[in-house]
Chains A and B, each alone.
Chain A
Amino acid sequence: MDSRAILAELPRLRRYARAMLGDRAAADDLVQDTLERAWSRISQWRQGSDLRAWLFGIMHNLRIDQLRRAGLATTSLDEDAAEVPLRPTQTDRLELMDLESALRQLPDEQREILLLVALEEMSYADIATLLGIPIGTVMSRLSRGRERLRVVMDGRQQTANLRVVR
């Protein structure tokens, strides 16, 4: 594997880890663990396949391991338990910081999909493969995550106007 190719992926891995974890040091620790694991499994890497997807997959699995080892269940998907704080009117600058804190209020499963779509612009099918879940699950988590983020940002109490047609 070409180290230039890896170097090229590092900024994206760091960005995603930072967005997922919030904390800079913890995010870089995760990226470092990802690279170490990647090198230790370099024999499993197939030349010509998608390096970015491979690295993101390793990172995802490491994170699952960490959560499991720490005895933390991944955040509950119970939609109704969501706390929705009221937000006073703020400037754009504060709004970005606000967005970050709102993002923390999403369950892990929703946040990761939202970020893979928004930051990485991955296709739904690629995300499904990466996370090892059906594409329908990707779609429903994306939909719930976006709506929850919107509600948190709007400081609204209920998702009254969410109309699900199916």
Chain B
Amino acid sequence: MTSQPITEDELQAYVDDALTPEWQAALEEHLTRHPADAERTAAYRAQKQALKALFQPVLDEPLPDRLQTLSVQPLRAPTGGGWTGGLWQRLAAGLLVAALGGAGGWLAHGQYLQGDRMARMVPLSHQAAVAHVVYSPDVRRPVEIAADQEEALVKWLSKRLGTPVRPPKLGALGYELVGGRLLPGNSGPVAQFMYHDASGQRMTLYVTTESIEKRDTGFRFAREGPVNVFYWVDGKFGYALSAGIDKGELAKVATAVYDQLDQK
């Protein structure tokens, strides 16, 4: 060829082998006469190969459970809506009913027996699971204070809860502290610490000082939708550890948390 000028678009398409064979050949001929274009297109080809090589390993990584699970259509809530929405609605509806009950009991204070009001409070495991479902998927703001300011976090939460609280160290089990936040509980503030493992799997530890039973309990287990929860009462604290992971693995972490907090 050719008196026709070669366009930038053609050079790009040449790099991607998107032209007809004749056209590709014509471009090659052009490049022999235009070293600057030749250098540039060669660089683009190398770039393309390098990008492929850089991200190729992701294709061979094992899929995280949370993604694998979603390859199957999630069960919907009876009210319809997507999986997240449905779960959310169910949990939140339960919480709302319980909270209204609690508020009603609270407002009607004098008319109810103490035990009756207590019975209306939201169970620890459920509160913790709702808090987990609400905050752990949050990409941008999962916590109010991040782990790089752990000292400030501890100071603040201890002050608000009116008693020293401190996040256990779970690095040995592969979970690093992300940070924490303050949440409203049944009658006052509670704390939530968030952790994640190398795969990004998040776990939350919910700490309350308003435990219903004023006596220590052993581990209890609850399943709230896709969230597994271990919870227990130790002294004046109620703890609940929530994550979307296998019960056995969660039990291991719960044991470690218990051991650490018990040593104080």
Q: Which residues of A come within 8 Å of B, CB atoms?
A: 1, 3-4, 6-7, 10-12, 14-15, 18-19, 24-26, 28-29, 31-32, 35-37, 39-40, 42, 66, 70, 95-96, 99-100, 103, 114-115, 117-119, 121, 123-124, 139, 142-143, 146-147, 149-150, 153-154, 161-166
Q: Does any Cβ of A come within 8 Å of B70's Cβ?
A: yes
> Known contacts A19-B51, A118-B52, A153-B47: does B83 contact A39 (CB below 8 Å)?
yes
Q: In the complex, A6→B72 CA distance in Å?
A: 8
Report the bound CA distance from A14 to B57 in whole Å: 11
The reply to whether the CB of B140 lies closer than 8 angstroms to some CB of chain A is yes
8 additional contacts, CB 8 Å, given A28-B67, A146-B44, A153-B47?
Answer: A1-B73, A7-B71, A19-B58, A31-B67, A39-B70, A99-B50, A100-B54, A165-B5
Instruction: Please state if B74 and A166 are interface contacts (CB–CB under 8 Å).
Output: no
Q: Say which size band chain B's interface belongs to.
A: 35 or more
Q: In the assembly, what is the distance between CA of A161 and CA of B35, in Å?
A: 11
> Contacts A117-B48, A164-B8: A32 and B70 contacting too (C-beta < 8 A)?
yes
A32 and B82 in contact, given A3-B72, A39-B74, A123-B18 (Cβ under 8 angstroms): no
Q: Which chain A positions have C-beta within 8 A of B15?
A: 146
- With a 10 A CB-CB cut-off, give which of A14, A115, A147 has the most chain B CB atoms: A14
Q: Is the interface of A mostly helix, strand, loop or mixed?
A: helix
A-B contact count (CB 8 A): 132
**Identity of the chain B residue whose Cβ is nearest the Cβ of A139 in the assembled complex:** B9
Chain B residue at minimum C-beta to C-beta distance from A34: B70
Whole-angstrom distance from the CB of B141 to the nearest CB of chain A? 10
Report the Cα distance A35→B15, complex, angstroms.
Answer: 33
Among candidates A35, A115, A154, residue contacting B51 with C-beta atoms closer than 8 Å: A115
Whether A150 lies near B67 (C-beta < 8 A) is no
Q: Which one of A29, A42, A124, A161 contacts B36 once the chains associate, using CB atoms below 8 Å?
A: A161
How many angstroms between the C-alpha atoms of A32 and B50 in the bound complex? 27
Interface assignment of B59: CB less than 8 Å from any CB of chain A? yes
- B139 adjacent to chain A (CB < 8 Å): yes
**Could you tell me if B54 and A161 are in contact, using CB atoms closer than 8 angstroms?**
no
Known pairs A14-B61, A25-B196; A35 contacts B54 (CB<8 A): no
